[in-house]
Each structure stands twice: as C-alpha cells, then as structure tokens.
Amino acid sequence: MTLPVSGKSKRIKRRDRNLWTPAEILAWKRPEKMTVSQWADQNRVLSAVTSAEPGRWKTGRVPYLEEIMDAFSDPYVEEITVMSASQVGKTEAMLNMLGYVIDQDPGPTLVVMPREDDAKVISYDRVLPMIQDSYALREHLPVLSDDISKLEYRLSRMFLYFAGSNSPADLASRPIRYLFLDEIDKYPKFSGNEADPVKLAMERQKTFWNKKTVKVSTPTTRQGYIFREFELSDKRRFYVPCPHCGRYQILVLGQIKWLEGKDSPERIKNERLAWYECYYCKNRIEDYHKNKMLNFGKWVAEGAQIDANGNVGGSKFKSKHRGFWITSLYSPWLTWSDIACEFLRSKDYIELLMNFVNSWLAEVWEEKVNKTKPDELAELALDYSREIVPAGVRVLTAGVDVQKDHFYLSIRGWGYSQESWLILATRVETWEDVIHVIFKTPYLSEAKNTAPFLVRLTCIDSGHRTSEVYEVCREWRDIARPIKGQQHLSGMPFKVNNIDKFPETGRMIPGGMSLWHIDTSYFKDKVTRLVQNTKMGGPGGWHLYQGIHAEYLKQFCSEQKIIIRDRKKGRATEEWRPVSVHAATHFLDTEVYATAAAEMLRLFSLLPEETKPVNTPKEQKRADPWIDVGGGWNRRNG
C-alpha cells in the first residue's frame, strides 16, 4: 500500500497498517485512469431482476454506447444529451456513468426523474442493486443502514440524491456537481410554482468548475426538452458500414424492405421476411450482418464527414455539449422484421404511429399540414426590379419587425383580385432608416403617366422597444399602427384596444392611439394560400422581384403548419411552428404584418372596374371608378 506525499508515493510500514481503518485506506486509494466504458466492462454486473441478459456488462454488445459513456469521462465535456429510442440501453449507459462517479470521481450527485415515485423506483430497483452487485461499488456503501433511504444515499465519499421533477424543494435545496436527468420530455414545464425544473436543477451546479450534466429521453415534439437540448449540441449520429460495399450510412426506416404483397405484420415478423437495403449498392443486409456493422460504427457530428474507410474529418468542431441520436434500428435485440412489423401495425392509427415515431425512430412527432420550400418560393419571381412598382399595383402596405438593435421591413403592393408584388424586403439599423424608407420615400411605377407611390398603411410590431414604437406611430398616426401578434383570436383576424385613456375614468382620449392585436395564424394561413394558389396557376398572384436575396427566401419558409395532438384531452389543433429551434422568421413576420395592413384597408375586396358588381340604378348612372387610381385615398401626396 502506498500513499501520495508531495507528488510521490510513500509505502505504509507493516506495523502501521493497523492504525488505518479500511475506509481510511480506501480514501487514499488513487483512482485508476480509465474511461466509463472500461470501468463498466471491469466492474458492472447486470442484475437478473432487471436485465434480459444478466451477468457482467459488455460494451461490445452495444457498441454505439461506448462513445456516449466515454464522453462523460472526457474532462472537456460538460453536457451530454442523448435523444434515443426506448430500450436501446440509454438508461444503462447513464447508470454506468453513475457507477463511475461513485467509484472513480465522487461528488454530490442528483438523479431527477419525472415524478417522485419514479425516483424511488429507480433508486431501489436499479441503482441500489447495481451497487450491491458490483464489488467495486459495494465498498462504498455506508456502515449504517439508516444512511440509505429511497431518496438519499450517504455513501462513503459522496451524497447521492434522487428527486422528482415536480418537487422544487428537492431540486433547489442542495449544491451538486453531477446531474442526471432521465426521460426529461415527461417533465412538467414548471416545477410546482417554481421555474423550469431542468433550469432549477442546473442552478445547483454553479459553484462546481468540473460539473457534468447528462440529459436522456425519448423525444416527443419539437417543443420537448430533449429535442431543444439536442439542437444546442454538436448533434452526432451513428454511421455504420455496408457489409457489401463498405459505404458508411445512417440506418433509416425507409431502407427496410419486404416482398410486395407479403405485408402481413405477423407473417413478416414470424418468418423474418424483411431485410435492410443498402442506400448505395442496393444489396440486402440481413439480420446477422448487424452486429459486425455496429462494431465498425462511428459517431459523426453535424458538419463533419466520414469516408469509406471510416475516417471522420471535415468541419468537425470540438464541443463541450455532446449530443447523440440513436434509433431502434441499431438495437441488437431487434430484427428488421420486428421493426417492419411494428410499423405496419402502427401506420394506420395516429396514437400508435406517434408512439412508433417517438419510441422506435427517436424522432419528434409532427403532422405537417403546410410548408413552403425556398426554391419553390424563388420561382414566383417576375421580371421587375426592387423598389419599382409594377403596373398592376394600386396600394402599398408595409410591415416592420422590431429587434433589439435593428429592424426588418417589407413593402408589398396590392392590386385587383388579391394579386400582390413585393416592392422591398430589407434590414435597416435605425428608426430614421425606417421612417425614410417607409414614410418618406416615393416609389416609382412602371406604368406611364402614373404618380409615384407612398406607403398607405404600416403595421409595426410592438413586442420590442414598445415605447419607441408608440412614439413613432403617434408621429405618423395616419399611416402607422402598433400591433401585437397572437397565435389565435376568437373568430376574428384582429381586435383593437385603446391605449390612450383618461386616468380618472379609463375612457379613451379623443384622437388617442389604439393597439391592434392580430391573429398571426390567420394571416400566415392567408399568405400561404396566396403562395400556393400562385404556384398552382390560380387567379391573382403572390410575386417577388428579380434577384430576391436568399435570406428572405429562407426566413419566409422558416415556419411550417403542424397538427398538435393532446392525448389527454383527445383533441387536435393546428399551429404554426419554426422548422428548427433557431430559425429566424423576421421576413415572414413582416409579410404577415403587411398582409394584416391590407386586410385593415379591405384591399382583398378590390376588383377590376369592369367586374365590380353594380347594385343600384344610382351606381349605374355614376361613371366614377370604384377605386380612385389617380391620386385619391390609396395614394399619399408627398
């Protein structure tokens, strides 16, 4: 036995060994230099009570877990996010990390489950048997049995706590170095009356420079915790080589094949009729190939590439937040036929299909109702230039999206039969720029003998810099309205609230300003219908100018309409959601605001003079056009 003294080792004399208790000798024992996977292979024993394959742990049985576990023992890594299918070993990998902490690098640790009952179950049914079955971990059990309870272990060198995500007192009461969050998509959005339970627990790690956080879950929707965290990571996916051509690829459901006409789920499963088709060489990959493929698999971060020899390179960057995504297709316990069978059983039933997508494919659930692609939108460009008003335009409206230190704006010209043309889409830096571009600049028309156009009405988002928005709208009250977007309004596209009121009575001040609440879902639906109608060659048209920049196209297509299903209430709603967590939506918002301004002016009722219905003899006698295109209400004379 040796003890470290000033960087060296000193041997304990035989006669002095009795002066030290076993616990004291253990405390001086140096930790071995090993990774989590190496530690698990040496010390982890799977219990026959909880495991289908009891006995000594073998990382080689689940090769895709090796890098996930070893990321925990990498001193550079602070956060690990595992978005995975169910029953692929993710919880066992987390338990291996926990065992490594107890034996090799102890520190105060918190394990959080969705509910307190779940925390008690994993404590007594998984963690305690793991400690008792491993010789290396058993040494750290306390002498007194009272030091082990369902929610707290007082081990020889550390405290181990368990908590439910709905218990703010347990999440916020202790400083911790290690945090394990299991099935985080089942956590509530708020912990009691406190904040987000994940943030609440992570606040307890502030004082530890060497902290580590592990987040594990099957995904649910894009709004779920695990997807949001995975999007913030380096997003690694597991590539495996084809046994025939050697090309590396991600395993996907669409490459599982079976004979046409033999699509009975039970028959496919029982007779193992399914196989995996290589994406490149189209050869059949059978079930017995899978283990060898997994052994040669490689984790590849987003932006990196892998060549035919399995070498990973390219633009891979080193991240402190490692993210891993794994599906049931990689599971060594499932055949291709098992997966095909489950898919065929589920595909015709929404509830079953949701579970298959989340728990088998490890993907977020989305029913896409509507989505526009940038390349499709670019096809709507016509042969006219930016800041030039095409001949068909009768009125200009604008929308302004206000940011912390800059602005996005769009100006759109409206004509008959809901046809419109984009005049300008740009970013400006100051309020002076906004005022100049929208309120003071006349835009020349292609039509001969036509006066320049000024913007007739502008909707300005008041979500940021609210007082400044109000000030500008007061100055330009005839042509600017402050707005506030809402996901849904009850049966109306917008509603108005008075801002300027007498403090004594609460009544509106005559000539005072109003705030317009607009239904953003309604106007996004309207804009999308106009775009889709144009793509299909319908009447009217939604047009862009030549050379429209790529950022406009990207941001306009940054949201999609999906169906959100509430399993508990048994109802479904349609909502517009960003296509990714960090997608910028500014130009989509400005087009929505400009369209709302057109609706406020009732421009969608504009019809050509010859098609306008004539309702009375008096109207027949009058020769005046329905809309004054020669400088009336639709134009402002500068």
| Orientation angle between helical segments 64-72 and 36-43, nearest 10 degrees | 110
The per-residue pLDDT for range 263-309, each reduced to its tens digit, is 788 999 999 999 999 999 999 999 999 999 999 999 999 888 898 88
Does the pLDDT value for residue 631 go beyond 50? no
- 513: confidence class by pLDDT, cuts 50, 70, 90: confident
142: left (phi over 0), alpha (psi -120 to 50) or beta: beta
What mean pLDDT value characterizes the chain?
Answer: 85
pLDDT value at residue 230: 94
How many whole angstroms separate alpha carbon 62 and alpha carbon 69?
11
Q: What integer pLDDT is reported at residue 313 of this predicted model? A: 84
Nearest to 580 by CA among 300, 228, 198: 228
Q: Give the DSSP letter string of 557-577.
A: TSEEEEEEEETTTTEEEEEEE
Is the four-CA dihedral 277, 283, 289, 291 of positive or negative sign?
A: negative
Place of tokens 């088709």: 277
Rounded to whole angstroms, the Cα distance separating 559 from 359 reads 25
Q: Which of 245-254, 574-583, 626-635 has the highest mean pLDDT?
A: 245-254
- Calpha distance 413→598 (Å, rounded): 9
The answer regarding whether domain 375-621 maps to CATH 3.30.450.20 reads no
**Three-class SS string for 399-412?**
EEEECCCCEEEEEE
Q: Is the pLDDT of residue 80 over 50?
A: yes
Confidence of residue 630 (pLDDT cuts 50, 70, 90): very low
Phi, then psi, of 132 in degrees rounded to 5? -70, -30
Q: Is 310 left (phi over 0), alpha (psi -120 to 50) or beta?
A: left
pLDDT of residue 40: 95
Give kind and range of the element (H or E) at residue 383: none
In contact, 482 and 470? CB cutoff 8 Å:
yes
Stretch 132-152: mean pLDDT = 88
Which residues make beta-bridge pairs with 237? 300, 325
The pLDDT value recorded for residue 317 is: 67
- Residue 165, pLDDT score: 87
Cβ atoms of residues 357 and 327 within 8 Å? no
Tell me the three state secondary structure of residue 103: helix
Query: Where are the extended beta strands (E) located within 463-539?
Result: 480-486, 494-498, 514-519
Q: Give the pLDDT of residue 369.
A: 65
Using CA atoms, how far residue 234 sits from 80, 433, 523, in Å, is 10, 38, 35
Mean pLDDT throughout 173-185?
92
Q: What is the DSSP letter of 509?
A: P
Contact (Cβ atoms closer than 8 angstroms) between residue 287 and residue 256: no
Residue 562 contacts residue 367 (beta carbons within 8 Å) = yes
Q: Is the pLDDT of residue 134 over 80?
A: yes
Per CATH, the number for 30-55+64-217 is 3.40.50.300
For the chain, give every domain's residue range.
30-55+64-217, 236-317+327-361, 375-621
Over residues 192-212, the pLDDT tens digits come to 556 678 888 898 898 999 999
Hey, what are 9's tokens? 């080792």
Distance CA 301, CA 234 (A): 6
Mean pLDDT, range 14-26, rounded to an integer: 66
The owner of tokens 């400044």 is 468
Q: Which secondary-structure segment (H or E) carries 504? A: none
Q: Are 317 and 229 in contact (CB under 8 A)?
A: no
On the question of pLDDT at 635 being above 80, the answer is no
Q: What is the pLDDT of residue 626?
A: 36
Q: Please count the helices (runs of H) and the strands (runs of E) in the chain.
A: 21, 30
Amino acid of residue 104? Q
In DSSP terms, 399 is beta-bridged to 410, 459
> Does 623 have pLDDT greater than 50?
no
Give the Cα separation of 596 and 594 in Å (integer): 5
Residue owning tokens 């607009």? 518
Distances (CA, A) of 119 to 14, 49, 93, 128, 489: 46, 18, 17, 12, 41
C-alpha 558, offset from chain centre? 13
pLDDT tens digits for range 33-71: 899 999 999 999 988 777 778 889 999 999 999 999 999
pLDDT tier, 144 (very low <50, low <70, confident <90, very high otherwise) = confident
The neighbouring-strand residues paired with 518 are: 485, 494
| Cβ-Cβ contacts under 8 Å for 72 (sequence gap 6 or more) | 36, 80, 97, 100, 212, 214
For residues 20-42, average pLDDT: 79
What pTM value is reported for the model? 0.65
Render pLDDT for 400-418 as a digit per residue (tens, 0 to 9).
999 989 999 999 999 998 8
Confidence class of residue 145 from pLDDT cuts 50, 70 and 90?
confident
Tokens of 295: 């052994």
User: Of the segments 119-123, 447-451, 498-502, which one has the largest average pLDDT value?
Assistant: 119-123
Residue 218 DSSP class: -
Q: What is the dihedral of CA 488, 492, 498, 504, to 10 degrees?
A: -90
The tens digit of pLDDT for each residue in 307-336 reads 888 888 876 568 899 999 999 999 999 999
On whether the CB atoms of residues 540 and 418 are closer than 8 A, the answer is yes
CA distance 425 to 260: 51
In sequence order, what are the beta bridge partners of 485?
518
DSSP 277-338: E-TTT--EE-GGGHHHHHHT-EEE-TTEEE-TT--EEES----SEEEEEE-GGG-TT--HHH
CA atoms within 13 A on the CB side of 278: 19
When pLDDT is averaged across residues 459-475 and rounded to a whole number, the result is: 93
What mean pLDDT is predicted for residues 83-101? 94
Strands 480-486 and 457-461: parallel
Query: What pLDDT is stored for residue 489 in this prediction?
Result: 80
Question: Residue 287 corresponds to which tokens in the numbers above?
Answer: 């079930």
Kindly list the distances between the CA atom of residue 321 and the CA atoms of 202, 224, 306, 583, in Å, as whole numbers in the listed order.
14, 18, 21, 20
Percent of the chain with pLDDT over 70: 86
